[in-house]
């Protein structure tokens, strides 16, 4: 047993339990400090993670758990995301009538699930970590339990999430039945010898379906717009960033470490999924008037771009995914923080409420513009460089197989379509007609800091991508391409 390998997760769970206990004794008006305490604790854990090294890889818990550079990269990603989400949650928490402390605790437990999933080296840990995350999200999505929209979002996420875990478990059973192992390292050897066993292939497809639900890739994307719109905005931000990244971490580990030989046969399938997801997300986003729903469809489209990196099946494709996830995290969290700040008292999050934002709060209007421009992929911002890397990885493969050119073309069409709706948001901010009396916008120091961090990182990653690129390249090395 090598418990020290999972010290980061243990620290996060310990922090979660501490927050839960402190919640019992704190008076109601002071519960907001639990959020700040949790964010500070996470920052400490993040700081501590730099004393760990994933090289060479450490195995723990009967080889179920692996701590390598790839896992560590994702753990840091999740920690940064959770710190920002915690600040977003604090900003949103006045809307919760009860249970602020529980909300912060649940965010921490979902984070623990994500961090475990980055280290999954066995189907049991894959399943349990994914469910820890998903079940926590059932509660987080329906946290405004006095609002029908939030409950409806929770129920929809619940039914489709449980359906996908049914497929996942059945898939695991089939893969286990054909190879009689659940360990990824053993599976790598055994699956190479049985690449045309139909039962194994069906099982793997079912598992990919279960993971595809997490990342909201076609044809498992139906839940995303509804759930994104109905849930509390802070949950939506975490769902868009954390849940998606955890899905990709598991998918990459499964496809490239556990069954690389079979993945090679599936390039067409992966390309088709990527292409349809991009087109579906972007086309459906066009007529949206609700900003959260728009970001829901945009998150489907982004899942498609990220799938391009998987379809490329190369080290450069995976590096691009890791880079893109970072750029996506900062842009999306900035956008959701602004949604919360600007639309505090309006019931729905319609885009028209952003009208003339540059007169009320020029700073917020600037950050929103920055994040929309980055999502659209305009140079020199982070989103552009992420897309550039993904396209580069796909074009690289196109020299071997020409159908990759088609995928790149589809993706470019998607990017062009997306310009329309992202710039629609910017147009509303600066030239939209105001329909109601504007409210005062108050920004807490923590949110201001988070917005500064997000916007600086969006620009920094676009101009100077080298350091993150190095980290991503080092992380991808442990995927054994």
Partner 1 sequence: MIGLEHYLIVSAILFGLGLMGVVMRSNLIVIYMSLELMLNAANLALVSFSRFTNTVDGQVMVFFVITVAAAEVAVGLALIVALYRKRQISEVDELTSLKL
Q: In the bound complex, what is the minimum distance in angstroms from residue 174's beta carbon to partner 1?
A: 7
Q: Closest CB to partner 1 among 290 and 473?
A: 290
Q: Determine, following the binding rule CB under 8 A, whether residue 243 of this chain makes contact with partner 1.
A: no
Q: Closest CB to partner 1 among 48 and 177?
A: 177
Q: Evaluate the CA torsion angle 366, 241, 158, 217 in order and state its sign.
A: positive
d(CA 107, CA 385): 30
Q: What is the DSSP string of 86-111?
A: HHHHHHHGGG-SS-HHHHHHHHHHHH
- Are residues 311 and 63 in contact, defined by beta-carbon separation less than 8 angstroms? no
Q: In the bound complex, what is the minimum distance in angstroms from residue 184's beta carbon to partner 1?
A: 13
Q: Determine, following the binding rule CB under 8 A, whether residue 156 of this chain makes contact with partner 1.
A: yes
Q: Closest CB to partner 1 among 134 and 316?
A: 134
Q: Determine, following the binding rule CB under 8 A, whether residue 188 of this chain makes contact with partner 1.
A: no
Nearby residues of 196 by Cβ (< 8 Å), 6 or more positions away: none
| Contact mark string toward partner 1, 58..97, x via CB under 8 A | ----------------------------------------
Nearby residues of 334 by Cβ (< 8 Å), 6 or more positions away: 367, 368, 370, 371, 450, 451, 454, 455, 458
List 158, 249, 310, 368, residue binding partner 1 (CB under 8 A): 158
Nearby residues of 52 by Cβ (< 8 Å), 6 or more positions away: 7, 8, 67, 72
Neighbouring CB atoms inside 10 A of 290's CB total: 15
Start-to-end CA distance of the chain, whole Å, equals 28
Q: Determine, following the binding rule CB under 8 A, whether residue 162 of this chain makes contact with partner 1.
A: yes
Considering only residues 102-131, where is the footprint of partner 1 by CB under 8 A?
A: 123-124, 127-128, 131
List 3, 40, 159, 409, residue binding partner 1 (CB under 8 A): 159
Q: Closest CB to partner 1 among 166 and 379?
A: 166
List 190, 293, 353, 387, residue binding partner 1 (CB under 8 A): 293
| Contact mark string toward partner 1, 212..241, x via CB under 8 A | -------------xx--xx-----------
Q: Determine, following the binding rule CB under 8 A, whether residue 152 of this chain makes contact with partner 1.
A: yes
d(CA 447, CA 346): 19
List 117, 119, 121, 181, residue binding partner 1 (CB under 8 A): 181
List 51, 97, 146, 402, residue binding partner 1 (CB under 8 A): 146
d(CA 333, CA 91): 12
The 3-state DSSP composition of the chain as helix, strand, coil percent (nearest 5) reads 80, 0, 20
| Contact mark string toward partner 1, 354..373, x via CB under 8 A | --------------------
Q: Determine, following the binding rule CB under 8 A, whether residue 298 of this chain makes contact with partner 1.
A: no
Q: Determine, following the binding rule CB under 8 A, whether residue 264 of this chain makes contact with partner 1.
A: no
List 7, 52, 57, 155, residue binding partner 1 (CB under 8 A): 155
d(CA 204, CA 206): 5
Q: Closest CB to partner 1 among 160 and 417?
A: 160
List 172, 262, 291, 295, residue binding partner 1 (CB under 8 A): 172
Neighbouring CB atoms inside 10 A of 401's CB total: 11
Kindly tell me the burial class for residue 29, based on how many C-beta atoms sit within 10 Å of its own C-beta (0-12, 13-18, 19 or more): exposed
Q: Closest CB to partner 1 among 225 and 386?
A: 225
d(CA 137, CA 131): 9
For 125, the 3-state DSSP assignment is helix
Q: Determine, following the binding rule CB under 8 A, whether residue 165 of this chain makes contact with partner 1.
A: yes
Distances (CA, A) of 117 to 78, 249, 338: 11, 7, 30
Q: In the bound complex, what is the minimum distance in angstroms from residue 152's beta carbon to partner 1?
A: 5
Q: Determine, following the binding rule CB under 8 A, whether residue 397 of this chain makes contact with partner 1.
A: no
Q: In the bound complex, what is the minimum distance in angstroms from residue 289's beta carbon to partner 1?
A: 8
Q: In the bound complex, what is the minimum distance in angstroms from residue 124's beta carbon to partner 1?
A: 6
Q: In the bound complex, what is the minimum distance in angstroms from residue 292's beta carbon to partner 1?
A: 10
d(CA 385, CA 387): 5
- Are residues 285 and 298 in contact, defined by beta-carbon separation less than 8 angstroms? yes
Q: Determine, following the binding rule CB under 8 A, whether residue 288 of this chain makes contact with partner 1.
A: yes
Length of the chain: 481
Contacts to partner 1 by CB under 8 A: 123-124, 127-128, 131, 135, 138-139, 142, 145-146, 148-149, 151-156, 158-159, 162-163, 165-167, 169-170, 172-174, 176-177, 180-182, 225-226, 229-230, 287-288, 293
């Amino acid at each position: 047993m090598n418990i020290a390998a999972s010290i980061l997760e243990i620290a996060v769970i310990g922090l979660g339990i501490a927050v839960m206990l402190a919640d019992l004794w704190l008076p109601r008006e002071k519960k907001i400090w639990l959020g700040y305490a949790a964010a500070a604790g996470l920052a400490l854990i993040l700081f501590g993670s730099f004393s760990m090294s994933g090289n060479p890889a450490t195995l723990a818990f009967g080889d179920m758990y692996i701590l390598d550079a790839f896992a560590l990269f994702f753990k840091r990603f999740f920690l940064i995301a959770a710190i920002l989400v915690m600040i977003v949650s604090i900003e949103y928490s006045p809307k919760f009538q009860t249970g602020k402390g529980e909300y912060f605790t649940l965010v921490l437990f979902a984070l623990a699930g994500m961090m475990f999933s980055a280290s999954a080296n066995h189907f049991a840990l894959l399943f349990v970590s994914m469910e820890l995350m998903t079940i926590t999200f059932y509660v987080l999505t329906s946290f405004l339990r006095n609002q029908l929209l939030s409950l409806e979002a929770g129920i929809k996420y619940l039914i489709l999430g449980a359906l996908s875990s049914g497929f996942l478990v059945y898939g695991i059973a089939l893969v286990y039945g054909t190879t009689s192992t659940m360990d990824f390292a053993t599976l790598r050897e055994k699956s190479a010898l049985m690449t045309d066993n139909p039962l194994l292939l069906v099982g793997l497809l079912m598992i990919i379906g279960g993971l595809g639900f997490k990342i909201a890739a076609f044809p498992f994307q139906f839940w995303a717009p509804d759930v994104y719109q109905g849930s509390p905005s802070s949950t939506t931000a975490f769902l868009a960033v954390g849940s998606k990244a955890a899905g990709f971490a598991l998918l990459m580990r499964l496809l490239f470490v556990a069954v690389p030989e079979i993945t090679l046969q599936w390039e067409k399938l992966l390309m088709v999924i990527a292409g349809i997801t991009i087109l579906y997300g972007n086309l459906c986003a066009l007529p949206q008037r609700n900003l959260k729903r728009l970001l829901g469809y945009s998150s489907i489209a982004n899942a498609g771009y990220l799938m391009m990196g998987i379809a490329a099946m190369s080290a450069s494709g995976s590096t691009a995914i890791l880079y893109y996830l970072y750029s996506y995290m900062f842009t999306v969290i900035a956008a959701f923080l602004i949604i919360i700040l600007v639309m505090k008292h309006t019931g729905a999050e319609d885009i028209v409420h952003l009208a003339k934002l540059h007169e009320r709060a020029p700073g917020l209007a600037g950050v929103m513009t920055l994040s929309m421009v980055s999502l659209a992929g305009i140079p020199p911002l982070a989103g552009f460089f992420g897309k550039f890397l993904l396209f580069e990885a796909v074009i690289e493969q196109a020299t071997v197989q020409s159908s990759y050119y088609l995928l790149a073309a589809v993706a470019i069409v998607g990017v062009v379509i997306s310009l329309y709706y992202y710039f629609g948001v910017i147009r509303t901010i600066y030239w939209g007609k105001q329909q109601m009396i504007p409210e005062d916008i108050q920004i807490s120091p923590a949110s201001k800091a988070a917005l500064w961090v997000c916007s600086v990182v969006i620009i920094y990653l676009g101009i100077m991508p080298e350091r993150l690129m190095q980290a991503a390249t080092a992380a991808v090395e442990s995927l054994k391409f």
